[in-house]
Amino acid sequence: MRLRICTWNVNSVRLRAEQAARFVAEQAPDVLCMQEIKCREGEFPRAAFEEMGLPHLKIAGQKGWHGVAIASRLPIEDPAPLDVCREGHARCVGVKVAGVEIQNFYIPAGGDIPDREENPKFDHKLDFYEKLTAELGRRDPKAALAIVGDLNVAPSEGDVWNHKYMSKVVSHTPVEVEAFYAMKAAGQLIDLPREATPDPQKMFSWWSYRAADFRASNRGLRLDHILVSPGLRDAAFRLGAAASRVHDDVREWERPSDHAPVSADLVL
């Protein structure tokens, strides 16, 4: 069977419910992982997702901020929690679908100053990565695990519009890139979008609202990721190549999120 996993920072699920319905109709994800839903569990538009054919929901909501959710076409189970947010924010939610554990994260952006002592938000971001790295190091790499979401780091030079400039800006500073790759190494994780579109090709999933025409300026970042454990390598490459992409056309829709969805197909 094909299992299509999508991740999308929707930047308010209630504002983007119609866009989500259009995306689901066009791309037929089996599992849609969302970040920044910006609502509490009781405020989540459940009926809309049931109508989309994604009736199985796991929601971690928060008033006005953060919040993550997973909507699935297939029944879901609860895996062991992997919540490593020291502040108690709604930043992680996990499910098991068709034998695959999917952990959906909204990692802190980190503020504006890339200094742990001067900026508590940046310290929180790195602490989040450190805790997640430690947890992944205790996991069996043969288990079927996907780490997805807005991880708020653009790790490679191909993931930013200008490496030299962005190396001084939160999201691509050396300490963040090091933290990302340490987390990736701890879980022996495979970066499926990058397997499909190898470096140094540019690939972005986020563009600022400040640009009147995001394609013309194209000052993007790849902040949204789908990483899988070695236990899913065969499923990811069963057809010979990774089927994973950024759906950047969604960024062109009316009143879009500043993030585009990212998808990957597994053949189980």
Regions in the chain scoring below 50 on pLDDT: none
Sign (positive or negative) of CA dihedral 114, 119, 125, 129: positive
Domain that holds residue 182: 2-267
Q: What is the pLDDT of residues 56-94, one digit of tens each?
A: 999 999 998 999 999 999 999 999 988 899 999 999 999
Q: Say if residues 2 and 28 touch (Cβ distance below 8 Å).
A: no
Number of domains in the chain: 1
Nearest to 104 by CA among 64, 142, 69, 153: 69
What CATH number does residue 129 fall under?
A: 3.60.10.10
pTM listed for this prediction: 0.98
Report DSSP letters for 129-155, one per residue: HHHHHHHHHTS-TTS-EEEEEE-----
pLDDT the model gives residue 250: 98
Residue at token pair 């490459």: 237
pLDDT the model gives residue 239: 87
How far is it, in rounded angstroms, from Cα 114 to Cα 108?
13
pLDDT the model gives residue 83: 86
Q: Say if residues 119 and 111 touch (Cβ distance below 8 Å).
A: yes
As a whole-number percent, the residues of the chain with pLDDT over 70 amount to 100
How far is it, in rounded angstroms, from Cα 30 to Cα 4?
5
pLDDT the model gives residue 22: 98
Name the β-bridge partners of 71. 32, 57
- Measured torsion, CA atoms of residues 172, 222, 155, 263, in degrees rounded to the nearest 10: 160
pLDDT the model gives residue 20: 98
pLDDT the model gives residue 44: 98
pLDDT the model gives residue 266: 98
Q: What is the pLDDT of residues 126-141, one digit of tens each?
A: 999 999 999 999 999 9
